[in-house]
Amino acid sequence: MALLQIAEPGQSAAPHQRRIAVGIDLGTTHSLVAAMRSGSIDVLPDASGRVLLPSVVRYGLQGVVAVGDEALEAAASDAKNTIVSVKRLMGRGLQDIAAHSTPYDLVQDDAHAMITLRTAAGLRTPVEISADILRVLHQRAREAFGLGAADDLAGAVITVPAYFDDAQRQATKDAARLAGLEVLRLINEPTAAALAYGLDSGAEGLYAVFDLGGGTFDMSVLRLSRGVFEVVATGGDTALGGDDFDHALAQHWLSGWGLGHDFSGLSSSERRRLLRLARLQKEHLTQLQPHEVIQAEWMRDDGAVYVASISREAFDQMTAALIQRALAVSERVLDDAGIQASALMGIVLVGGSTRMPGLRIAVERAFGQAPIIGLDPDRVVAIGAALQANSLAGNRSEGEDWLLLDVLPLSLGLETMGGLTEKIIPRNTPIPVARAQEFTTFKDGQTAMSIHVVQGERELVSECRSLARFELRGIPPLSAGAARIRVSFQVDADGLLSVTAKEQSTGVEASVSVKPSYGLTDAQVADMLQAGFSSAEQDMQARSLREAQVDAQRILEAVASALAQDGDLLSASERAEIDQAMSQLRATCGGTDRDELRDRTKRLAGLTDDFAARRMDRAVQRALAGQTIDGVLDNAAR
C-alpha cells in the first residue's frame, strides 16, 4: 500500500523541517535580504557584517567587477561603467532618460522596448543590472544558511513600490529569474512595512505607511483587523526620492559657486563626486540642530576646490517643495480612502529618506500626530517581506493567522467604440481579483473583434496606457448587438494581468497574458492618477461627445441598411426628408457640439419610426405568406 504524506494547506509537509525562504528589498539606493532564523527575522549581513548592499554595479571587460560598497567607491572615477540607482531606469525609454543629465552611454533596445546601457562588458539592460544585485543577495542568503551546491532556497518575496505598474513588476520578476531566484510573490513596500509593524504591535485600525526611499515615494492606507492586512488606498510618485534631495543640494551649491543651475557643465566624475558629497552632507544634517552649519570641499577635475557649506535650516527650505509633493500625494490617498487624517491610528515612516528632520516635522504637522519610527526605516520593508516569505514557504506557526490584501494602483479596462475607456477593474481594488463584463458587436455580420487592454484613469483611450491587443475571431455573423462576448480580467497576487474573451453561443475563445513593454516613463506613472483628477470634468465632456458620435454612427448605418432593403416603402417626399436628416447628421458627427448632435440623432430616429413600423409589417406578411391560420397557431404552439 502506498503512503501519502499529507499536510495542512500553507503548512510544511515535514513540520520538523523549515523551508528556507527570504524577503528582499530591492531598493534604489540600498538593497537587503532578510529571513527567519531561530524563530525571529534577521537581516542577513555579508562577510564584513554589513547588511545594507548599495544598489551599485561596476562592469569591466570580463563582466561584473564589483557590486555594492566596492562598486560605489569607483562611481566617481569610472562613472560610465558604474551603474547607480538602476531602479529608476526600470520602465523608461531613451527619450525620457535623455532629457536628464546622466553619465551613462544609453542605447534604445527596440527589440525589447527598453533602454540599454553601454558598458565595458557590453550592453546591459536595467533588468540585467538588477539581476546582478539580486545574485549577490541570493548568494549572501545561501552562505548564511550554509546551503550546499545541491541545495537552494524555497523562494523569495521581493518588494516593489506600490505604484510600480505592470511592466515594472514584470521587469522585477524577470530580474529575479535571471538571478536564479524563484519569486514566491511580489508585494508592495508599504504592505511589507505594515506587516512588520502590525505583527509586532497587534493594534487594529487604519494606518498610513509613508515610504520615501532613495528613488520612489509611496503612501498607502491599510486597515489592520483580525490578522487581515487590507490596503484601502494607495498612491505614489515614482520620480520622487532621496536622490532628488541630493540633486537639490548639489544644484544649490553649483548656483552659489557660479557654475550654473544644473550638471551640464560637469564631467561624469565631477557630477558623481558632487552628488556623493551631497548625500553624505544630507545624512550628516540629520544629527544637527537647525542653525548648525557644516562644510566640506569639492574638487573639480582641473584641481579647482570649492567649499560646500549648508545648514539644516537652509536644507529644509530648499527641499520644502519636494516634501510638499509627497504630502500632496498623501492627501489624494486619504481622499481615495474616504477618511480624514484624524481617523488614522498611526503613521509609519519607511525608507532611509524619512530620517530627515524636516520631513518628519512636516509629516507630523500634516497628519496631526507624531509618526511611528520604532523599527529601522531601512530594514522594515525587508523584515515584512521575510515574514511573508516564511509563511508562503509553508513555515507558518500556530497563531500566525494573517492575510495580505493588496490593491491595484491604476484602473484596468478596454477600448470601446469611439476610443472610449470602459473600466473593468477600478483602481484600489483588492488583488488577486477576477472581473468579467459582456460586450457585443457594432456592425451586422461582424465575425471578429479587436480587444485593446488599457490602464489608467482617463475616459479616452488615447490618454491611457496601452497594455496589450489581441483578436477574437469566429464570432457568428449575427446582426449588430446580437452577439455576446464575455471579456474576463484576472489579476494575480503579484499584480500581473491576463485577459480572456469568449463568445457565449459558440464557445470560441482568445486570451492574452499581458507581457508589457518596459517603455513606460516615470512621469507617466506618477501623473496618471493626478491627470485623472485634474481632467475629470474635461474627460466626461469628451466621453459624452464620443458616445453621442457613436450613437449617431450606429443609427446612420442602420437607416442606410434599411433603405437599401425596403426603401420602396417610402414616398419620394419621405425619402427626401430622411436623406436630408442623414446628411445633416453626418455633417454634425465631425463637430464638437454634443447637444446639436443628439438633437439631429433624435430627429432622424423620429423620422424613421413610421418607416420601421412598415418594415415590421412587411416582414410579418412575408413570414405568414402561404400559411393557414391553423398552421400559424400550430407553429406558435410548438
Is residue 525 scored above 60 in pLDDT? no
Write down the catalytic residue from 132, 166, 174, 211: 211
Confidence of residue 184 (pLDDT cuts 50, 70, 90): very high
Summarize the confidence of residues 508-537 as an average pLDDT: 52
Sign for the CA dihedral angle at 537, 542, 546, 551 comes to: positive
For the chain, give the percent of residues with pLDDT over 70: 83
Percentage of residues in the chain having pLDDT higher than 90: 29
Separation in Å, CA 180 to CA 35, 47, 125, 156, 266: 17, 21, 17, 10, 39
pLDDT at 12: 44
Domains and CATH numbers, the chain: 21-241+322-406 (3.30.420.40), 242-321 (3.90.640.10), 408-520 (2.60.34.10), 537-624 (1.20.1270.10)
Summarised one tens digit per residue, pLDDT across range 480-507 is: 878 888 898 888 876 778 888 888 888 8
Cell of 393: 514557504
For 601-614, the three-class secondary structure string (H helix, E strand, C coil) is HHHHHHHCHHHHHH
Q: What is the pLDDT of residue 620?
A: 74
347: its cell numbers: 503613521
* pLDDT at site 183: 92
Q: Are 392 and 157 in contact (CB under 8 A)?
A: yes
Calculate mean pLDDT across residues 578-586.
86
Predicted pLDDT of residue 587: 84
Helix (H, G, I), strand (E, B) or coil at 246: helix
| Active-site entry in 78, 87, 165, 423 | 87
Name the catalytic one among 128, 165, 174, 189: 189
What is the pLDDT at residue 506? Answer: 82
Whole-angstrom Cα Rg for the chain: 31
Strands of the sheet containing 105-109, edge to edge, are: 105-109, 114-119, 122-124
**What pLDDT score was predicted for residue 109?**
63
d(CA 127, CA 113): 12
CA 215, 221, 224, 227 torsion-angle sign: negative
Q: Which helix (H) or strand (E) holds 485?
A: strand 485-491
Reported residue count of the chain is: 638
State residue 142's pLDDT score: 92
- Which sign does the torsion angle of CA 351, 352, 355, 358 carry? negative
Where residue 526 falls among pLDDT bands split at 50, 70, 90? very low
Q: Quote the pTM value.
A: 0.64
Q: What is the mean pLDDT of residues 30-41?
A: 91
pLDDT per residue as tens digits for the range 288-313: 898 999 999 999 999 999 999 999 99
Q: Which amino acid is at 583?
A: S
Provide, for the chain, the percentages of residues in helix, strand and coil under a 3-state DSSP scheme, each rounded to the nearest 5: 40, 25, 35
Is residue 189 among the annotated active site residues? yes
Known catalytic residue at 211 = yes
349 contacts: CB under 8 Å, gap ≥ 6: 210, 212, 360, 363, 371, 372, 373, 377
Contact between 268 and 117 under an 8 Å Cβ cutoff? The reply is: no
> Which one of 25, 174, 459, 494 is the catalytic residue?
25
Q: Which of 240-254, 318-332, 455-469 has the lowest mean pLDDT?
A: 455-469
Cell of 186: 511580489
